[in-house]
Amino acid sequence: MHPHQSPSQAYLASVAARLATDGCQTWWEDWGGVPVLIGRRADFRLRWLGKMHLFTMAIAVPEITMATIGTFTFQAMEYAKRIKGGLPAGVQTGIGIFPVLVSDRVDPAAMQWAEAQARHDWGIMARPVVVDSARQYVGICRRKGFVGRAYASHMLKKGTLYLDGR
């Protein structure tokens, strides 16, 4: 870790490196004055009968609450739908998203919400991620649900690779 880098910034830098190593396009955007790391890749599998566009959007915030993770998850889903391009989501193409919030101050209810279940909309699945940089703990739903089951193994594998660093 760089001497002037916070644990949250160090975590984001490590995620950016792991995304790039896995062949994701990575870039930073300004969302309302806050830098957001974005990673994107697309994978085709015959068993999916189509393609999955996987987005990782990560941001360091002063504190993670239910409101911040819920709002960021919604914003990430809307952003991914808007920039994906190609066929509409759900038509031989799906969108998977890791909306990642990183902080050293985490409301336990926000962590429980992230770990409880994936969030779904038509053709899009988000697995919200809460990272407690003080405890070095990553909270994400690691179960395969009924909705989006075809993509679940892929998302769990990528989530572990990108967010846990394994």
150 lies in some domain: yes
Residue with tokens 């892929």: 154
Quote the percentage of the chain above a pLDDT of 70.
Answer: 82
Query: 157 — phi, psi (to 5°)?
Result: -65, -50
- Give the pLDDT confidence of 12-49 residue by residue, as tens digits: 999 999 999 999 999 999 999 999 999 999 887 665 56
- The answer as to whether 1 is a domain residue is no
The answer to the question of residue 2 being in a domain is no
Q: What is the pTM of this model?
A: 0.87
Which helix (H) or strand (E) is 12 found in, with range?
Answer: helix 7-21
Range of the domain at 133: 7-164
HEC states along 96-146? EEEEEEEECCECHHHHHHHHHCCEEECCEEECCEEEECCCCEEEECCCCCC
Note the pLDDT of residue 147.
46
Provide the domain count of the chain: 1
> Does residue 93 register a pLDDT over 50?
yes
pLDDT band at 125 (very low <50, low <70, confident <90, very high): confident
